Amino acid sequence: MFIKMRLFVKKVLYYFLNTTLKTDKVILSGFSRGLQNVAFEGKNAVPDRCNFSGKISIGYGTTLGYNNILGGNITIGKYCQIGADVAMHATNHPVHYLTTYINTNLFKGELNKFKEKNEIIIGHDVWIGHNVIIVGNVNIGNGAILAAGSVVTKDVPAYNIVAGVPAKSINKRFSDSIIKEIEDLAWWNLSDQELEKIKPLFFKDYQNKKSIYE
């Protein structure tokens, strides 16, 4: 009983005082729901009013934004940055049955078994802008940028910048040769000590370049 009361008091404090809780893997600010559905890899940050349901994995160093909603089977890679009010929906209502209504108010929720269940997979070093919505069976490649306000319903190739409703590719971040070099380097899998050795690569501007080693 004491433990339950203690947890309740903590939740109240997080909600009203926006206090911060640090664990060995994640920093929690404010109050979020469904954290038991998330596997954190480490050095993650979850701000106030995030909501998680389903089976979710969040990679090392990835940070979320205020009021993120993640539902369904979702895998997010390492070192991703997610803006505020981002929603990811890997599930959907059935569209080829008599009704889309799967709530318990109809047939005690028996129609819930027809819910469409997909998977959202997000690579490493992905930047997702404010108010982006990702729906359906979607794979986001490494290094992609999803512009603010985009609605993503299809796969996004690695290092592509997409925008719009529905989101479409508007540019590539780098030349094909540089993209291959970054993928081969896979810097997101390196230790802190290994990253220090290649630190100068992160401070170069690769616009109009053919190699990260120039």
Residues 16 and 35 in one domain: yes
State the pLDDT at residue 3.
Answer: 63
Report pTM: 0.88
Residues 60 and 166 in one domain: yes
Three-class SS state of 197 = helix
CATH number of the domain enclosing 142:
2.160.10.10
Q: Strand runs (DSSP E) across 48-132, as ranges? A: 51-58, 69-76, 81-82, 87-89, 91-92, 116-117, 119-122, 127-128
Residues 26 and 128 in one domain: yes
Range of the domain at 79: 2-173
Residues 207 and 113 in one domain: no
Residue with tokens 């701000």: 47
Residues 38 and 130 in one domain: yes
Residue with tokens 């939740």: 11
Residues 126 and 141 in one domain: yes
Q: Judge residue 126's burial from the number of C-beta atoms within 10 Å of its C-beta, 0-12 exposed, 13-18 middle, 19 or more buried.
A: buried
Residues 192 and 101 in one domain: no
Residues 80 and 137 in one domain: yes
Q: How far apart are CA 178 and CA 206, in angstroms?
A: 8
Quick: pLDDT tens for 99-145: 999 999 999 999 999 998 999 999 999 999 999 999 989 999 999 99
* The token pair that represents 56 in the structure block: 């979710």
Quick: pLDDT tens for 9-19: 666 655 555 56
What is the DSSP annotation of 132-189?
Answer: -EEESSEEEPTT-EE-TT-EE-S-B-TTEEEETTTTEEEEESS-HHHHHHHHHH-GGG
Residues 83 and 157 in one domain: yes
pLDDT band at 202, cuts 50/70/90?
Answer: very high
Quick: pLDDT tens for 72-102: 999 999 999 999 999 999 999 999 999 999 9
Three-class SS state of 190 = coil
Q: How far apart are CA 114 and CA 95, in angstroms?
A: 9
Quick: pLDDT tens for 22-44: 788 999 988 899 999 999 999 99
State the pLDDT at residue 88.
Answer: 98
Q: How far apart are CA 203 and CA 80, in angstroms?
A: 18
> Length of the chain, please?
214
Q: Find the catalytic residue in 93, 96, 124, 130.
A: 93
Residues 135 and 70 in one domain: yes
Residues 190 and 160 in one domain: no
Q: For this structure, is 96 an active site residue? A: no
Q: How far apart are CA 49 and CA 30, in angstroms?
A: 7
Residue with tokens 């969040």: 58
Residues 48-85: b if buried by 16+ CB within 10 A, e if exposed: ebbebbbebebbbbbbbbbbbbbbbbbbbbbbbbbbbb
* The token pair that represents 70 in the structure block: 């993640």
Inform me whether the pLDDT recorded for 173 exceeds 70.
Answer: yes
Q: Is the preceding omega at residue 94 within 30 degrees of 0, hence cis?
A: no
Residues 163 and 196 in one domain: no
**Domain count along the chain:** 2
